[in-house]
Each structure stands twice: as structure tokens, then as C-alpha cells.
Amino acid sequence: MTEPTFDVVAIGNAIVDIIAPAADDFIAANGMTKGAMQLVFSPEEADALYAKMGPGTEVSGGSAANTIAGMAALGSACGFIGQVADDQLGAVFAHDIRAGDIRFDTPARPGQPTTGRCLIFVSPDGQRTMNTFLGASHYLPAEALDRDLIAGSRFLYLEGYLWDPEEPRAAMRAAIDVARDAGRKVAFTLSAEFVIDRHRVAFHELIDGGLIDVLFANDAELKSLVETDDLEAAIAALQGKVPLLVVTLGPDGAMAIAGGERTTVAAEPIAAVVDTTGAGDLFAAGFLHGQVTGESLERSLRLGAICAAECIGHIGPRPIADLKALAAEKLA
């Protein structure tokens, strides 16, 4: 097996987030569930909701892309595969990810639909309510995969959000085959309960087939996957099937289970919750960076918590602080 030239390559939704503050009564009046994510199925619906937003901030997003941005900021060598359209938001996404020293070579898709966007309303308590129009991101073909990049990366990182449509699902299955044939590891994040509800059988097939080396989930997602209200029962059902199971617990910290042993850490203290958008993505960034650099599970979990706390402390899902310096200070 040849030595990898990249640490992680991710496949995920290529989306631009548009973030604006909103009162709780605005969220309720527009039929949204506070703190949840819902899909917007037409550009017209997305445009109508966008017109109601107050002044906002545009920043490239997408779950796996956020994770890769965090890893690159920490010093990992990263690549990203995702579909944008040949339009203004597509150019914004491509610029932002390449500016982070991340390899991104997926050709832009001409015509409709437009590049994906996520309209995010941030409540006064920092909770984010997301409305996602996936657009071009759900038309990623297997032919767009950079197989050499996948084979040359220590980890292939996949987001559950992209499992829904047939075309990128086939692309991700092909990517798993490439990674496996090259002797690389596959990490998978379950993303959200609604995704699990739609693809529970397929996710269990991946896990039971031994195709997932690292599984990321929060406590609610893990319980949903196993269809239980008991977190310990969910852990017991999965820990023998996944070499490394990583579970985030919100303000209660996080845990990693490997080889029957459990490691836990507390959440990192923060001055104020400003915006929880991307916190789980940045946790995964810190944890995976720790793993590719040979850190212990405990230090990898702590690094994940540090990155998540940095993200929660400001608007937007990408880091704005110097994560390298922050990690060096906190882990000293």
C-alpha cells in the first residue's frame, strides 16, 4: 500500500449558507420548527423565504465541507468532492474552499438547478433553524469522482445528508469501493434523524458489511438509528460493528468507543452560545485531525470539543479563530 498524500477527502453537499438573526415568533409564523432543519424543494420557495430574511451573512457551508475546512485550518491535507452549478454562488463556494488550501476540482454543472443554499435563522439563544435548498449538490455523478484523490487519502469522509438522492448515493458507494481497494479508512456521519428515517436500512447495511471504520452521531441520531430511547442500548448494539464510534452529547460533552473501551470528555466552556450552526461539523474536524496526527482518543475528543466551542462562539459554520494556535493553547 502506497503512503497517502492527503489526510482526508470528503464528499458532501456544496452549499452556501445565508445566515440572519430572527425572533422566535418569526420562525413560528413561517411554519418552521425552531432548531430543526427542513428541506426546501423548489427555487421559488427558497426565493420567497429569502425575501423575508433580514440582513444576512453569506458563507460557504455544507456539513462535510465545514469539517474539511476545520481540518485544513488545523493543518491537515484535505480535498473535497461536491457539486456546484456554474453560477455566482458556485463561484463563491469554489473560491472559499480553495482559499482554505483544500483541493477542489469537481467541475461546475451548467444550467439548472442553481448551487445549493441554506437559509439559516439564528434565534436570540443561538439556536439555528435551517431551510435547505440542495440544488446542484444533489446531482453529483460517479464520473465526477477523483479516484486518485480518494485512493491517496488516509480517510474518506462521507455525510449522510448526501445519501438521499440516487446520483450522489451511487457516487459515494463507488467512492467507498475505491477507498477500500486502496486500504483506506471510511468515516461516516449520520447527519440528522430525518436522514436516518429515510435510509436506516441502507445505513445498517453499510455498518453490518464492515464498510464504516468511524461513525459520527449525536445521541439522538444514534438512538434513532437503532430505534431505541436508551442511549446505552444503542451503543451496545453498534460498538461491536464499528471499530470507532464517536457520540456527541451537546453540553454534556462527547465520547468515543473503540475495542470495548469508552473515553469521555466534557464540553469546552464557552462565554456565550452565539450560533450552533456547524458545531458538530467542527467537532468532527477536530477529532479526525487528532486521529490522523496520531493523538489519543481523549486528546482527539478534546480537540473536537475545542473546535466546536470556537464555532458556537460566532456566527457561521467555519472557524474564524486560528485553530492551530487555539488547539496548542488548550491542549498544552
Does 34 map to a domain? no
pLDDT digits (tens, 9 = 90+) for 146-169: 999 999 999 999 999 999 889 999
- How high is the pLDDT of residue 173? 97
- How high is the pLDDT of residue 42? 85
When pLDDT is averaged across residues 251-270 and rounded to a whole number, the result is: 93
Half-sphere exposure of 49 (CA within 13 A, CB side): 29
Q: What ranges make up the beta strands (E) of 200-300?
A: 214-218, 244-248, 254-258, 261-265
Q: Choose between 280 and 128: higher pLDDT.
A: 280
Q: Choose between 260 and 307: higher pLDDT.
A: 307
167: CB partners within 8 A, 6+ apart: 138, 139, 140, 141, 142
pLDDT band at 1 (very low <50, low <70, confident <90, very high): low
Does 25 map to a domain? no
Q: What's 16's DSSP letter? A: E
From residue 206, alpha-carbon distances to 13, 62, 123, 288 in Å are 20, 22, 36, 20
Strands 244-248 and 57-61: unpaired
Does 292 map to a domain? yes
Q: What are phi and psi of 117, to 5 degrees?
A: -145, 150
How far is it, in rounded angstroms, from Cα 97 to Cα 61? 9
Q: Evaluate whether 10 touches 188 at the Cβ level (below 8 Å).
A: no
Does 41 map to a domain? no
Does 228 map to a domain? yes
The residue to which cell 467541475 is assigned: 107
- How high is the pLDDT of residue 296? 96
Tell whether omega for the bond before 4 is within 30 degrees of 0, i.e. cis. no
Least confident of 217-221, 273-277, 308-312: 273-277
User: Could you give the 3-state DSSP secondary structure of residue 270?
Assistant: coil
Does 124 map to a domain? no
pLDDT digits (tens, 9 = 90+) for 26-47: 999 999 999 888 888 888 888 8
Residue 173: domain span: 6-13+62-110+137-331
123: CB partners within 8 A, 6+ apart: 21, 22, 23, 24, 27, 34, 35, 129
**Nearest one of 291, 286, 269, 288 to 328, comparing CA atoms:** 286
Question: What would the grid cell of residue 154 be?
Answer: 488516509
Q: How many domains does the chain have?
A: 1
The residue to which cell 453498534 is assigned: 238
Angle between helices 297-312 and 63-74 in degrees, nearest 10: 110
Does 50 map to a domain? no
Does 20 map to a domain? no
CATH number (domain holding residue 74): 3.40.1190.20
DSSP string, 166-217: HHHHHHHHHHHHHHHHTT-EEEEE---HHHHHHHHHHHHHHHHTT--SEEEE
User: With 80 as the cut, is the pLDDT of residue 275 above it?
Assistant: no
Q: Evaluate whether 70 touches 323 at the Cβ level (below 8 Å).
A: yes
- How high is the pLDDT of residue 61? 85
When pLDDT is averaged across residues 225-246 and rounded to a whole number, the result is: 96
How far is it, in rounded angstroms, from Cα 137 to Cα 108? 10
pLDDT digits (tens, 9 = 90+) for 57-108: 888 889 999 999 999 999 999 999 999 999 999 999 999 999 999 999 999 9
Q: Choose between 83 and 260: higher pLDDT.
A: 83
Q: Is 227 left (phi over 0), alpha (psi -120 to 50) or beta?
A: left
The residue to which cell 477500500 is assigned: 180
